A and B are shown apart, each in its own frame.
Chain A
Amino acid sequence: MGVEAESTAVSETRWGGGSRKGWRLHVQQLLRVREMTLLLLVCGCGIVFSLTVPNFGSLANFLSISDSLVFDAMITTGMTIALVSGGFDLSVGSIFASSGVIVAVAMVAGLPVWLSIGVALLTAAGWGLLNGLVITRVGVNPLLTTLATMGMARGFVYIVTEGRVVTGFPDEFTAPGQAAFGPVSALVLIALLVVIAADVLLRKSAFLRQLYYIGSNERAARVSGINVERARIGVYLTTALLAGLAGVLSTSKFSAAIPLMGTGAELKAIAAAVIGGASLYGGEGTVLGGTLGLIFLALIQSVLVLLNISVYWQGFIAGAVLLLAVSLDVLIHKRS
């Protein structure tokens, strides 16, 4: 669906005419765009919670929610791209940790800040390249490949840190992670930039658009002359670099790199991307959708704390809401 559905929706909007039937078709077609359902759901939740949950509707609460989404948003962006291409990347949480820790260790060892960041991003790229090469050249399933590198990268973190939290960085490194423009933190702006850029590129750039083709029908893509291997390697480089960048920023924000950082980030990203319309079978999904999925998950989590739901119930309720949201989405698509 993904791109196709979108283009049909767009054309229907354009040529749909003014009759009642046309109008109904409009709504149906709009609803078929995955992001639309989700956007309505997010806005609906936002409005309902604002009216019913004390302190929810405040600007401070929205800013605090967005502050807590920064790293997940960047990782989800990469995951969405991987899912679109028919791939999968379980190693992002570990790569996040690996870069977050490498930048820390490099600075503590006395490397200049820019070089430390460079080394951290190169490390991430290294993991991405390893994933890409094993998947394309050796032909191992992405799930297994990235499951293995997830373990390797986490192990690498422990080798480098010996399990210890690393601290003691120059101010010029920690400043950007803690900077703010008015009430909006610099990190939120960076994440926003990444999300918007990735969303536009995935829709418009020829290189990224071909991922939808590869994801929905790899053989056809190959026959039509697309360099599938190169595109795939590019995908895993992208997911790794985004995770690596997020890791570096996290270390900057917390002024500390903890070996456990990013544990479980891959599952959260997959959940967000799938809620946002990405398919586990490839060929579908948008970055905007993934981000909305993430926001939806965060809204639910935030409300659970604001309403003082018992911590024992939180996991259950969050899971149930997730199931409900995904089911609702599937039902809407079935009907139209």
Chain B
Amino acid sequence: MIMRQSKCTTNIPAIAVAGVLLASLGQSSGLAQQDQVVLQGVKPLPNERYVMVTFLSGIEFWVPARKGMEHAAKQLGVQASYQGTEKYDAIDEARVLDQVIASKPTGILVTAQNPEALRPTIDKAVDAGISVVMFDSDSPKSKRPVFLAGDNYRIGQKAGELMARLLNNKKDAKLEVVTTIGQLNMTQRSSGFQDAVEKHGMKVVRTVEEGGGYDATYARTKEVLQAVPDLDGIFDCGSMAPGASKAVQETGKIGTIKIIGMDLDNALMDLIEKGQVAATLVQGAWHMGYWGLLMSYAVAHGMVDAGIGDYKQAGASPLPAYVDTGVYEVTKENLKFFRDINKP
């Protein structure tokens, strides 16, 4: 089966940082007796709850974020749970978020399907005194104190730089971008990519829409290959690179046309292994969950005041406004280290 036992990998530096952070703030001392994972010097609070709320809650992308959150929760001896709407639907996500708020958790880690549609509900959570952090998809005008995410423009730039390296800085190289219009993160990746490749004298000759499932990306890429038979590379800003790879494979140009994907699922792993997809960019989603929970906890426990003292009166946030959770370049060479990143 595809479900595996979850393996809690202990992240030594993170624990050290968290440990120092917590110990220095004088949490009640004494060893955690039952739960081995709870950090030394931290008093477990089994009734304290933190809830992660997502949209498209079933997708693989959230798995590392959830794992990061659960990792931190174990270390702090608090409860973490995962909620969300399975749909790509802001209204439905707001409904779930509302229910979570009503259950009065200590903290909420939320990602917004739509920045404006979720804003009132996020503000409601903040007003209710819940320690809210946002990750991956922001609602910038809401009262959330912090946003943790990969910088999508920079991710796109990284993909562009990588493409230039893969094509040995080939002048006038022709590239295809697969994106979803109207989705901000993909639009930003796409423009980051475009800006980066243009600096290397390469050109994005076709931008096509990804669609749901591999079918659409496959079909569009086939059309692009008709229009531009001497295509050099493809960057899929979403997760349908296997669809593009299939189309390239059918023209017999696999390996010649360099494909860069995003994130890492089983299909991409197989294709990278076989050399049919050159590389993928994997976001640091784990950090969103781990540092998200630590930050939510830190605010809830009055551990941080940003050196201001009464930050609430000052109208300031006690947390950094934005944390770039970064991105990893994964190719055939280092793939083996990333294999378990999305395992639940």
What residues make up the interface of A, taking CB atoms closer than 8 Å to B? 54-56, 58, 60-61, 64-65, 67-68, 71-72, 97, 105, 108-109, 154-155, 157-158, 161-168, 250, 253-256, 258-265, 298, 301-302, 305-306, 308, 310-312, 314-315
Contact of A105 among B2, B215, B267, B342 (CB under 8 A): B2
User: Which residue in B206, B214, B229, B246 is a CB contact (below 8 Å) of A258?
Assistant: B214
Q: Which residues of B contact A260 (CB under 8 A)?
A: 59, 212-213
Contacts A109-B1, A163-B62, A253-B246 given; 13 further ones with Cβ under 8 A? A54-B227, A56-B226, A58-B226, A162-B60, A261-B212, A261-B214, A262-B215, A302-B223, A305-B208, A311-B207, A311-B209, A314-B209, A315-B181
Q: Across the interface, which residues of A come within 8 angstroms of B117, CB to CB?
A: none
The contact string, 1 if C-beta is below 8 Å from chain A, for chain B 109-151, is 0000000000000000000000000000000000000000000
- In the complex, chain A residues whose CB is within 8 Å of the CB of B270: 167-168, 255-256
Q: With a CB–CB cut-off of 8 A, which chain B residues contact A56?
A: 226
Please judge, given known A-B contacts A109-B1, A166-B266, A311-B208, whether A68 and B58 are in contact too, CB under 8 Å.
no
A165 to B86, CA, bound (A): 16
Q: Is the CB of B86 within 8 A of A154?
A: yes
A56 to B215, alpha carbons, bound, how many Å? 20
Which residues from A are CB-within-8-Å of B266? 164-168, 256
Q: A165-B267, A253-B246 are in contact. Are A301 and B2 (CB under 8 A)?
A: no
Contact A259–B226 (Cβ < 8 Å): no
Write 14 A-B pairs (CB below 8 A) sorted by A numbering: A55-B227, A65-B222, A108-B2, A162-B3, A163-B63, A164-B2, A164-B60, A164-B266, A164-B344, A256-B242, A258-B214, A301-B220, A311-B208, A311-B209
Q: Which of B248-267 touch A at CB < 8 Å?
A: 250, 265-267
B213→A262 contact, CB < 8 A: yes
How many A-B Cβ pairs are below 8 Å? 140
Determine how close the nearest CB of chain B comes to the CB of A244; give it in whole angstroms: 15
User: Within the assembled complex, what's the spacing in Å between the Cα atoms of A58 and B251?
Assistant: 14
CB distance from B16 to the nearest CB of A (A): 31
Among candidates A165, A166, A255, A305, residue contacting B224 with C-beta atoms closer than 8 Å: A305
Is residue B179 within 8 Å, beta carbon to beta carbon, of the partner chain? yes
- Is A163 in contact with B59, judged by CB distance below 8 angstroms? yes
Given contacts A260-B212, A305-B223, contact A167 B267 (CB under 8 A): yes
A301 close to B223 (CB less than 8 A): yes
Rounded to whole angstroms, the CA-CA distance of A302 and B57 in the bound complex is 33
Cβ of B218 under 8 Å from chain A: yes
Q: Complex: how many Å from CA A169 to CA B239?
A: 20
Chain B residues with CB under 8 A of A258: 213-214, 239, 242, 265, 267
Docked Cα-Cα span, A97 to B215, in Å, equals 12
Measured CB to CB, the closest approach of chain A to B192, in angstroms, equals: 16
Q: Tell me whether B14 is interfacial, beta carbon within 8 Å.
A: no
CB within 8 Å for A264 and B211 given contacts A168-B266, A255-B267: yes
User: Can you name the residue of chain A whose Cβ is closest to the Cβ of B58?
Assistant: A158
Cβ of B319 < 8 Å from any Cβ of A?
no
